[in-house]
Structures are given as structure tokens and as C-alpha cells.
């Protein structure tokens, strides 16, 4: 009979092996799902994971990879800090929206001023917008001990309503003939977050994501604050004795996550999306949770996981147009991935022992 035996320490081998294993199992289960939907499973999997990278139209899809991965990685890096410390910010979607609104707000207020100062101001506003939104759950947790999970999530719905109000009201394009949505920032030279290297999809958000990965790596492996974050998550009591102030960690982790999510939103609204519109947010804030876990809360892992998740978005769109695979199937596919990852994580912390029942 099968028994579980707790490992004294998490297995190093399985720590690295579980994410690829989870991806593999998800592909198999996803294939079964696609087959159940009446699509050829092998073709569907190939369309999602192979075609965007190496297929006929890969020149079009490859830049998309960076464009989609950048916000996911930026948000997931921020979330991972909190998750490591046992601080559950699941409202990144709201912080992403608020960053976009703040960034776009600055641009729209300065329009049509053409100056080099516009874009840096937008970056600052974006980070501040996300940060401020994340400070609400942080402050409530500090002051009143309110659960940050529920508050940060409730604020997503508030931010979505605010986005709609802005797109229909104060930020509406005055020259837009009454259509909802703001001015298109792509047509505003100073505010546009364009490609840095044409044809690669590389924009400022990608650069920011790369910097965030490096800084997070340094923070976690070289800095005492990073050590405190890990300590607070793994041994809260020990952390207390070591002089870690939980309040400071809450403010830092939520604040950083909010600022990064805000940046992601700002880069998105100034570049790929172009304008504030009702359907601006597409769930990056929630998918980033999957990315953070799939990357094992490690900066480098998150970068890889972000690219993989971006691939499923792009491949999913492709499978939608070429094979008629429903968009929801991809969403389900991403959800499955997190499920299987959490399930196979058992192998990291426990040893499976097969043995015969002993005499009592």
C-alpha cells in the first residue's frame, strides 16, 4: 500500500522537476479535453506550443511572446515576494488597472505636450497608482488585522468599475464621436511605449520585467530583507525572534507587488493596448498567480514560466482562429496547470513509499 513519508527537507530534484512534470501532465489532460471537444489533440497541442515559435507565421507571433510575457513576469515577480512571506495579494488585477489609469491619466492630462518628460512621468504615476491601490489592503491589515486576500480581491471589482467609469467619463476621447475609450496613446508620440528594437516586441515593459527579475534575484539571494521574507514564510516564529517586523514585510511585499503590477498596466496601456477602454484588463493579474507558482516563486523560474504562459495565450489565440478551439478552453488549460502543479508538489515535500502492511 502507498504511504506518504514527510521528507526532512524538500527534495531539490523534485523542486526543479515538478514544474515541467506538471506542464507535461497538463498537455496530456489538455489533449484529452481538446479531443472531447472534437479537435485533434496532437494538432491542438502543436498549434499552441510549436506553431507560434517555429511555424509558418512565427515572424508575426514571436514578438507577441515578449509583449504578453512582460506584464505576466512583472506582476508575478511582485506577487512571489508576498507569497514567499505568506502575504497573499491576489488583487494584482486591480493594481494593474490602477497603474494603467494613473499612467494614462498623466498622459491625457499633458496631451498634446510633446516632451521627453512625459513618459518618465507616466512610469512614475503608473507605479504609484498600483502601489497606492496595494497600500489599501496593506494598511488595513496593519491597522485592523483585516484579511488581505479578501480586501485585495474586492478592490479588483472596484478598480474594474472605476475603469469603466473613466473610459465612459473623464478619460473619454473628446474627439471620439462619443465612443467609449480614451485617446489612443499610440498616436501621442511622447507617451507611446513603442518597440525599442523594431520587429522584436521589445518595449520598455519588457526591459522593466528583465530588471525586476534581476533585482528580485539579488534581493532574495543577497539581501537581508530577502532573507527575512523567506524566513517569515518558512518559520514565522523564528522570524519573530530574529527581529523581523511583520508589519514592514506586509508594507514592502504588497507595495512592491502593487508598484510592479501598476507598471505592467501602465506599459500595457501606453503600448500594446494603446487606450483606456472598458475591456482593457484581460486577466493578467490572475494568470500571474499561476506564473508565480509555476516558476516556484523564484525570479528565474518566473521568467521562464511567464514566457510559457504567454505562449499558451498566443497559441490559444492561434488555435482559436485556425482550429476553432474555444477561448475558454485555453483558460481552463491554464487553470489545470496550476492544479497539476500543486498536486505533483506532493513529491517535493513527501516521499511515496510502497510497502506491505505491517503486523500491528
Partner 1 sequence: MGAIDPTLLLAAIMVAATPILLAALGELVVERAGVLNLGVEGMMITGAICGFAVAVNSGSPVLGFVAAAAGGAALSLLFALLTQLALANQVASGLALTLFGLGLSSLLGQGYQGIKPPPTPRLDLGPLSDIPFLGRVLFSHDPMVYLALGLVAAVWALLKFTRAGLILRAVGENHDAAHALGYRVVRVRVMAILFGGACAGLGGAYISLIRVPQWTEGMTSGAGWIALALVVFASWKAGRVLLGAWLFGGVSVLQLNLQAAGLAIPVEYLSMSPYLITILVLVIMSADRSRAPGSLGRSFHASQ
Per CB under 8 A, residues contacting partner 1 are 4-6, 88, 90, 140, 144-147, 149-151, 153-155, 157-158, 161-162, 164-165, 168-169, 286, 289-290, 293, 326-336, 338-339, 342-343, 345-346, 349-350
Residue closer to partner 1 (CB basis): 131 or 293: 293
Minimum Å distance from CB 43 to partner 1?
19
Residue closer to partner 1 (CB basis): 267 or 286: 286
- Hey, how many other C-beta atoms are within 10 angstroms of the C-beta on 64? 19
DSSP symbol at 9: S
SS3 197: strand
CA 25 to the chain's CA centroid = 22
Minimum Å distance from CB 312 to partner 1?
12
CA separation for the pair 39, 324 (Å, rounded): 9
Minimum Å distance from CB 198 to partner 1?
35
CA 328 to the chain's CA centroid = 19
Minimum Å distance from CB 286 to partner 1?
6
Closest CA to 119 of 203, 213, 179, 214: 203
For the chain, give percent helix, strand, coil, nearest 5: 70, 5, 25
Q: Where are the beta strands (DSSP E) in the chain?
A: 2-6, 350-354
SS3 202: strand
Peptide bond connecting 126 to the previous residue in cis, omega within 30 degrees of 0: no
Minimum Å distance from CB 160 to partner 1?
9
Residue closer to partner 1 (CB basis): 66 or 310: 310
Residue closer to partner 1 (CB basis): 47 or 89: 89
Residue closer to partner 1 (CB basis): 76 or 289: 289
Residue closer to partner 1 (CB basis): 154 or 210: 154
Contact in structure between 291 and 280 (CB atoms under 8 Å): no
Residue closer to partner 1 (CB basis): 17 or 215: 17
Minimum Å distance from CB 171 to partner 1?
12
CA separation for the pair 175, 291 (Å, rounded): 39
DSSP symbol at 351: E
Minimum Å distance from CB 133 to partner 1?
12
In sequence order, the 6+-apart residues with CB closer than 8 A to the CB of 307 are: 65, 69, 73
Amino acid at each position: 500500500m502507498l504511504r506518504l513519508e514527510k521528507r526532512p527537507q524538500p527534495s531539490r530534484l523534485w523542486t526543479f522537476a515538478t514544474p515541467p512534470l506538471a506542464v507535461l501532465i497538463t498537455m496530456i489532460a489538455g489533449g484529452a479535453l481538446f479531443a472531447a471537444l472534437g479537435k485533434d489533440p496532437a494538432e491542438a497541442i502543436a498549434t499552441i506550443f510549436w506553431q507560434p515559435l517555429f511555424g509558418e507565421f512565427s515572424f508575426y507571433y514571436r514578438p507577441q511572446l515578449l509583449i504578453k510575457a512582460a506584464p505576466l513576469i512583472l506582476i508575478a515577480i511582485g506577487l512571489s515576494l508576498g507569497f514567499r512571506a505568506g502575504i497573499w495579494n491576489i488583487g494584482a488585477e486591480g493594481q494593474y488597472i490602477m497603474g494603467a489609469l494613473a499612467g494614462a491619466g498623466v498622459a491625457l492630462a499633458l496631451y498634446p505636450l510633446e516632451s521627453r518628460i512625459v513618459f518618465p512621468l507616466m512610469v512614475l504615476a503608473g507605479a504609484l497608482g498600483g502601489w497606492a491601490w496595494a497600500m489599501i489592503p496593506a494598511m488595513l491589515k496593519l491597522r485592523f488585522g483585516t484579511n488581505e486576500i479578501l480586501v485585495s480581491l474586492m478592490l479588483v471589482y472596484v478598480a474594474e468599475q472605476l475603469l469603466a467609469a473613466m473610459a465612459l467619463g473623464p478619460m473619454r476621447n473628446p474627439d471620439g464621436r462619443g465612443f467609449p475609450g480614451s485617446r489612443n496613446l499610440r498616436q501621442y508620440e511622447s507617451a507611446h511605449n513603442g518597440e525599442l528594437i523594431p520587429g522584436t516586441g521589445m518595449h520598455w515593459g519588457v526591459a522593466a520585467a528583465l530588471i525586476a527579475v534581476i533585482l528580485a534575484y539579488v534581493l532574495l539571494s543577497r539581501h537581508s530583507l530577502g532573507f527575512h521574507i523567506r524566513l517569515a514564510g518558512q518559520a514565522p516564529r523564528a522570524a519573530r525572534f530574529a527581529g523581523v517586523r511583520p508589519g514592514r514585510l506586509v508594507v514592502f511585499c504588497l507595495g512592491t507587488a502593487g508598484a510592479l503590477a501598476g507598471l505592467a498596466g501602465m506599459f500595457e496601456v501606453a503600448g500594446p493596448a494603446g487606450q483606456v477602454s472598458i475591456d482593457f484588463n484581460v486577466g493578467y493579474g490572475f494568470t500571474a498567480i499561476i506564473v508565480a507558482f509555476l516558476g516556484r516563486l523564484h525570479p528565474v523560474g518566473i521568467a521562464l514560466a511567464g514566457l510559457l504562459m504567454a505562449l499558451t495565450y498566443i497559441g490559444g489565440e492561434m488555435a482559436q482562429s485556425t482550429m476553432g478551439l474555444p477561448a475558454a478552453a485555453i483558460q481552463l488549460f491554464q487553470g489545470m496547470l496550476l492544479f497539476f502543479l500543486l498536486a505533483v508538489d506532493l513529491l517535493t515535500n513527501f516521499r511515496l513509499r510502497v510497502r506491505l502492511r505491517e503486523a500491528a
